[in-house]
Copies of this chain bind each other. A is one copy, B any other.
Amino acid sequence: MITYDFSQRDGLPKYEYLFQCIREDIRTGALKPGTRLPSKKMLAKHLSISVSTVEGAYDLLVSGGYAESRPGSGFYISKRAGDYAAGGALQREPALRKPLDRPQAAPIEQVSPPAGLGTEPSAPGIDMHANSCSLELFPTDVWARIMRRVLSDKNPELFETVPFNGLPKLRRAIAQNLYEFKGMQVDPDCIVVGAGTEYLYTKVLQLLGASTVIGIGDIGFKKLTDIFMASGTLWAHVPVDSQGIDIDALAASAANVAHVSPANHFPIGAVMSAERRAQLLSWLAERGYRYIVEDDYDSELRFSGRTLPPLFTQDPTGRVIYLNTFSKTLVPSLRISYMVLPDALMDIYRQQLSFYSCTVSSFEQSALAEFIERGYLERHINRLRRFYDKQRERITEAIRTSGLAKIAHLREVNVGTHMLVHIDTRLPDTQVKAAARRAGMHLNVLADYCILPTADTAHTLVINFASVAPEQIGTAMRILEDIFADDIARA
């Protein structure tokens, strides 16, 4: 039976220590997906601990997605746990991961499954568009407790002006996190923390200089072009297909900077293929004045285990700028993003732009550092993944059992917090959106994200389910059935 030395737990609560030990065994592959865990009673006896301690650890494993309870049968290492294993997605070196070296964890409150998304389940409005996240999912108690500790520590550095690129403690935690979960080896001094990705984009544009032309996908975040316009930066649109941006078109354009999200091209969810990545890196290497901006904004929430490492790790030229944010994975209202600059660019940043003060409160930086170090971020992301997984299933099932089944085609269902649904209809997208709005539902279509909407991109709903309460899904389906009633009747 699994055996751990409780004399090594170094002040950790016993259930937390047991949880970490089992998790480590899952990661190293010592415990394989599908393995049945010992019964609580047996393990308690075997380790001379109480049954409630084992119960606490098993609860954490289940809430973290590492194990699942099968009623009447017991606890099993879950299939998904393989994603975290050594041979899994991220090619981590398990031996380097030492969760037990982490600072002493605070007690964790019991995490009940989210009661529902959306802020007012009974409200008439259904938001298939907002970038909000469930307040049920965010561990406010943990955050409040960490914040209280941060403040009561009265650490002098929190009351002084923070270094321009962020609190060292947070940058170290980010670097460690990038290493553990994406295999990136990053010097914390090359990380710049800022108040949101948009803010960091303006710094990137200043860093790259006035002669920059940015190549961006012809489907994507339209806000990017707002930022370019407001900053006086030129850009060129580059076609996007299911493998990412078209490199030939990029090379033929005036762009010297490529803006990409290889792990997940918003909103179509395209994962850049290995071949396309190699082409892009060749394009980069061809000219010394070319750069890549890699926005990895959502990759933590992807479900597939086939994640390729970030371009940043594959680049020998030192001209890939990596950006990511905690707004999607934690809570949108916490404005903390970061970028990783290659050494030479960091030197330039330090010389030319370090006069700009850091834009993030040091209290929240310090709290986030603890939140990461103590494993809460990882746990939170696992909860989000399971919740979004469930939401995706709920919506898929709701479509399947509705009148829409005959006319709806699900595309790219594996992209985090939204899915694309193509509808066999001749109703123009503008009419669909207007009808939805009249029915109290805020809904975007793929054409909203396209520079030049084409026949291919028409009639495709973007169902963002991050803010939709489970009990709203039925109503949403009724609204869509009404809108497409003629098409359903014809089908």
Contacts and interface: CB of A to CB of B under 8 A. Distances in A.
Interface of A: 119-120, 130-135, 138, 140-141, 143-144, 147-148, 151-152, 154, 156-162, 195-196, 198-199, 202, 206, 210, 223, 226-227, 230, 232, 331-336, 352-353, 355-364, 467
B356 A159 contact: no
Contacts of A120: 156
B333 A161 contact: yes
B135 A154 contact: yes
A195 B362 CA distance: 12
A119 B361 contact: no
B334 A361 contact: yes
A357 B325 CA distance: 14
B151 A148 contact: no
Contact of A160 (B132, B147, B363): B132
Given A119-B156, A332-B161, A195 B132 contact: no
Contact of A195 (B195, B232, B334, B363): B195
Nearest to A149: B144
Number of copies of this chain that the complex holds? 2
A334 B361 CA distance: 5
A208 to B, nearest CB: 13
Given A152-B140, A333-B363, A363-B364, A198 B147 contact: no
A330 to B, nearest CB: 10
Nearest to A134: B159
Contact of A131 (B161, B202, B223): B161
Contact of A147 (B147, B336, B362): B147
A335 B160 contact: no
A446 B334 CA distance: 39
A353 B230 contact: yes
10 contacts: A135-B156, A135-B158, A135-B159, A143-B151, A160-B332, A195-B360, A230-B352, A335-B357, A361-B361, A363-B364
